[in-house]
Amino acid sequence: MSDSTQPGGWDGPWYHIRTEQFEAAFLPDADEDLESVDDIDVEVRLPDGSRWSATVCTVARVEVLMKRWAKSGEALEGRYYWCSDGLIVRDAGISNMAHVLAGLIENGEYRQILQRLED
């Protein structure tokens, strides 16, 4: 897999990363440490103009949510986690998430995992 990820940059609340394969726009919380991000929305734009989205969470973040929901009663008392465009990753951080996205795009799995957005 290519490691051609360039350092990102800000555009309003969005943090953009550009590679030869895609551009990803992440929406972190204000003042959030980008390499500690464990739950974030991302929009991916491919060179063909298609747009894709995902909510990326770490395994650890899902565990925290499920424990919280076990106490609150949500999601059948924390027995499941679901979101329509969910992508679970092992490690936190936008650079790790961009690396995962690059791999999904390189091997074509993004079509099954990310949600296609209408133009």
Query: What pLDDT score was predicted for residue 6?
Result: 52
Q: What value does the CA radius of gyration of the chain take, rounded to a whole number of Å?
A: 15
The model carries a pTM of 0.88
Q: ∠ CA(72), CA(88), CA(80), 5° rounding?
A: 30
Low-confidence stretches of the chain (pLDDT < 70) are 1-7
pLDDT digits (tens, 9 = 90+) for 36-57: 999 999 999 999 999 999 999 9
Q: Residue 116: count other Cβ atoms within 10 Å of its Cβ.
A: 12
Q: Coil, strand, or helix at residue 81? A: coil
Residue 8 has a pLDDT of 85
The pLDDT value recorded for residue 60 is: 97
pLDDT value of position 7 = 67
Nearest to 39 by CA among 117, 101, 93, 113: 93
- Give the model's pLDDT for residue 90: 98
Residues 97 and 30: their CA atoms lie apart, in Å, by: 18
